[in-house]
Chain A
Amino acid sequence: MAVIFYISSAVAILSTVMVITRMNAVHALLYLIVSLLSVAVIFFTLGAPFIAALEVIIYAGAIMVLFVFVMMMLNMGTKAAEQERKWINPRMYVGPAILAAILGVELVYMLASGSNRAAGFEMIGPKAVGISLYSSYIIGLELAGMLLLAGLVGAFHLGRQDKD
């Protein structure tokens, strides 16, 4: 399992780098999908098959399809890629690089201080996820539900056509 974990982690990192460096938006999205799929494999190797399946269904299967849908509506051609190329210059990378470096230092510190534990000792099935969602995390779940409902009502309001 450890080998699979490292391979899928490497794929996740590589594909995420490709997401950032692609000029064509649809190609970038395709790499993002690959990245999400490899994260799903990581979840699976860590003993969370339910989360792995949800990652594929919701992120890779639904949200990314919507992204692609919007891309298709905009139908950006070579002109957009050219514009992208002009926008991204090396100076753009300074800010994110500093933030990422802070995270990297934190990670190294955590590893060095020895307070790290290996994950994935037990298999968490769908039932266990459901029980903890509807008992200890019920407030978070309801709040998320309300947020989504508000979004739904808002989208309906924006998309409604006045019949007059």
Chain B
Amino acid sequence: MFELNWSALIAIGVLLGVFTLAPGLIWLERRLLALWQDRYGPNRVGPFGIFQVLADMIKIFFKEDWIPPFADKFVFFIAPGIIMLTVLMSFAVIPVAPGVGVMDINVGVLFFLAMSSLGAYSVVLGGWSSNNKYSLLGGLRAASQMISYEVFMGLSLLGVVAMAGSFNLREIVNAQAGMWNIVPQFFGFVVFMVAGLAEMHRIPFDIPEAESELVAGFHSEYSGMKFGMFFVGEYVGIVLISAVITTFFLGGWHGPFLPPMVWFFLKMFVFICFFILLRASLPRPRFDQLMTWGWKLMLPLAILNLAVTGAVLVAVNQGH
């Protein structure tokens, strides 16, 4: 019974943590972007403008929640829920520190991949159900982008799995006690980071919602809290990708002097800031460039990385 209560408490803790982190992230992003673009950013509401997010949230809650009459109401309604559900479910398998984590299953990597591939439905169905040509184009782009980048997202993780000999995220973290995976699996790390960005359709890969060509892409017709769910879902997605990269490639909670949980959050925070810097500095590629780059560069790189990792592992194991 105690076991059950403990994991329930952790689950609630993770949920609350994510939901406080995501709005904080919106503020952080706006401030950091402003810093890098040589302007102030939100600085009026509260100290350093930190309550700006709160004010925006109150505003968005009271906005009219409008469903267009030409939309497919049922699908329009469930689409924003899917992204929140899948992203939050993914947090269940992430080990924050030894003994702290919601689930400890032996197919953790696959669970994460499954949830991220289900997340594609949110954007695709949102775009389809809006019954608007710009939304439809956004949804089409999202479908092909996420399907393509999913392939080598999985492939790039297989090197890590082969090194740890397990799909369990805890064992993967423990296998990195000596050396972080970012050194022997550098190409896997690069491919995974790019694929992760594309999966979360985050700038520079926010082609499904490219506002300069498609109004707002797949969420053009969304307003009020339904739009808010897409929006917050994207930020929770950034937290997720940072946490997953920390787990797979940066040794999770391992590190000297500081307690394990502090290390985990520190590494995660570095990646979150890095993703914001990417947004501040990189332009959006054209859609065909994105696809060509994915299939002709990232996929071969991921396969090569996997093959070399496998060969080295076999050679080393034969030596013993």
Contacts and interface: CB of A to CB of B under 8 A. Distances in A.
A154 interface: no
B72 A26 contact: yes
Interface in A100-143: 125-126
Given A61-B117, A62-B117, A68 B125 contact: yes
A72 B127 contact: yes
A69 interface: yes
Interface residues of A, number: 25
Interface stretch (B29-37, B60-68, B108-116, B190-198): B108-116
A75 B139 CA distance: 12
Contacts of B121: 33, 65, 68
A73 interface: yes
User: For chain A, what secondary structure do more than half of its interface residues adopt (helix, strand, loop), or is it mixed?
Assistant: helix
Interface string B135-159: 0100110011011001000100000
B124 interface: yes
Interface residues of B, number: 28
B166 to A, nearest CB: 8
Given A30-B75, A65-B146, A72-B128, A54 B110 contact: yes
A65 B121 CA distance: 7
Contacts, number: 77
A18 to B, nearest CB: 12
**Among the interface residues A33, A54, A60, A68, which one has the most CB atoms of the partner chain B within 10 A?**
A68
B94 to A, nearest CB: 16
Interface string A60-100: 11100110110111010000000000000000000000000
B107 A72 contact: no
Interface of A: 24, 26-27, 30, 33, 49-50, 52-54, 56-57, 60-62, 65-66, 68-69, 71-73, 75, 125-126
30 contacts: A26-B75, A26-B128, A27-B75, A49-B105, A49-B106, A50-B107, A50-B110, A53-B113, A54-B110, A56-B117, A56-B118, A57-B113, A57-B154, A60-B117, A61-B150, A62-B117, A62-B150, A65-B120, A65-B121, A65-B146, A66-B143, A68-B121, A69-B143, A69-B144, A72-B124, A72-B127, A72-B128, A72-B139, A125-B107, A126-B106
